[in-house]
Amino acid sequence: MKLCVAYPNADNKFETFIKNHIQGLKPDYCLTGGWWAYREPNGKSIFAGIWTEPFRILLKRGLPAYYHKVYTNYLIRFLQKNQITHLLAEYGVTGAKVMHACCRANVQMVVHFHGFDASNKKTLRQYTSAYKEMFQIAKKIIVVSEDMKKTLIRLGADENKVLNIPYGICPELFTEKPVYLNSKIIISVGRLTAKKSPMLNIKAFNEVLKVFSDAQLWIVGDGELRQEAENLVKTLGIEKNVRFWGYQTSAQIVQLLHEADVFIQHSVTEARGDTEGTPNTVLEASCVGLPVVSTFHAGIKEAVAHRETGFLVEEKDYLTMAQYIIELLQNPEIAQEMGKKARAKILKEYNLPLQIEKLRQAILE
């Protein structure tokens, strides 16, 4: 097998799941640079001759249908020249762009959906027709939750082709909390975006403060809603109890998780239809040994066993979320036990080497 992984953004620090796939699968080649993945990470392009970067961008924006034909021809040359036999397309949209080249070059294509590509209303309207064709061409279709699997089957995918292989977590990196500190620190980690609903996390925490006035909320991550989140904290007058950490490395996140008592994430289906897949942050917190308070949303329903490894609430029900957080702070022994069960569940069901091997076998079959 000669494997190529096509993915959109080489420098996206939030897509750790793609970095894990590349590190684990060790593909022979990678292509990145947008949905029409066209260059290797070292910058070498599949295009040649007159295809300067400004000209390529201008044509892609002005004549996308024609650009797709030209792109397909160049991608075929790349695949054949390098004797690629298998291609993993990260995101359904990437799969829609590369499918014709894979078909014509006789390359086995596996498409990995991650979240918005199977839920965003605008994306589905734009790509439903292409997806139907892609479902026929693709050898396998990988999803990260049962909800996503059902969605793609409704869109026309053959259920025998669709495999649910959630992301994996490296237990050597996300080590278990050495001791439960009863610090009353509640932590959330992730991009500050609508589908992760940081405002509802803050509103739930504000209710917690009515019982535990010394509790702390640590918000780790950045995004378009950071300013709005900071404004809400000021409006509620709880600046002394909330800390915005911004972007942190994986190693820094582990240290912060070790100091916390409870992990929260109020994932919701946002107005455009965007949903989560299976959030890595939930898996990481569970692997560290924190109880999780989150929502009955997408793959979270599978990753968190309600009342066993954490608590789940209906989307937008931040009051019940607050009650569960209070319950955990009032009963640290229960929180600690839930955290231990959470780590055991991750080691059994979301272990990174195991999940990478499942993905490898799906590609090879």
Which domains does the chain show, CATH number per domain? 3-168+352-364 (3.40.50.2000), 185-349 (3.40.50.2000)
Lowest mean pLDDT among 105-109, 168-172, 238-242, 252-256: 168-172
Beta carbons of 131 and 143 less than 8 angstroms apart: no
Q: Above 70 in pLDDT, residue 14?
A: no
**Cα separation, 204 vs 188, whole angstroms:** 12
Nearest CA to 312 out of 211, 302, 289, 277 is that of 302
Mean pLDDT, to the nearest integer, of 15-30? 93
The H or E element spanning position 264 is: strand 262-264
Contacts 24+ apart (CB under 8 A), 307-313: 308/338, 308/341, 309/338, 309/339, 309/341, 309/342, 309/345, 310/263, 310/286, 310/338, 310/342
Mean pLDDT, to the nearest integer, of 8-34? 89
Mean pLDDT, to the nearest integer, of 52-70? 90
Q: Above 90 in pLDDT, residue 49?
A: no
Predicted TM-score of the model (pTM): 0.88
Amino acid at residue number 128: T
The pLDDT, as a whole number, for residue 188 is: 98
| Predicted confidence (pLDDT) per residue in 268-296, tens digit | 999 888 889 899 999 999 999 999 999 99
Mean pLDDT, to the nearest integer, of 95-119? 97
- Give the chain's mean pLDDT: 95
SS3 content of the chain, % helix, strand, coil (to 5): 50, 15, 35
**Cα separation, 349 vs 304, whole angstroms:** 11
Could you tell me the two tokens for 32? 């990145």
Q: List the alpha helices (DSSP H) in 63-166.
A: 64-81, 92-104, 121-137, 146-155
pLDDT bucket at 62, cuts 50 / 70 / 90: very high
Q: What is the DSSP string of 146-185?
A: HHHHHHHHHHT--TTTEEE----B-TTTSPPPSS-----E
Q: Above 90 in pLDDT, residue 178?
A: no
Sign of the dihedral through C-alpha 284, 288, 293, 298: positive
The pLDDT, as a whole number, for residue 179 is: 83
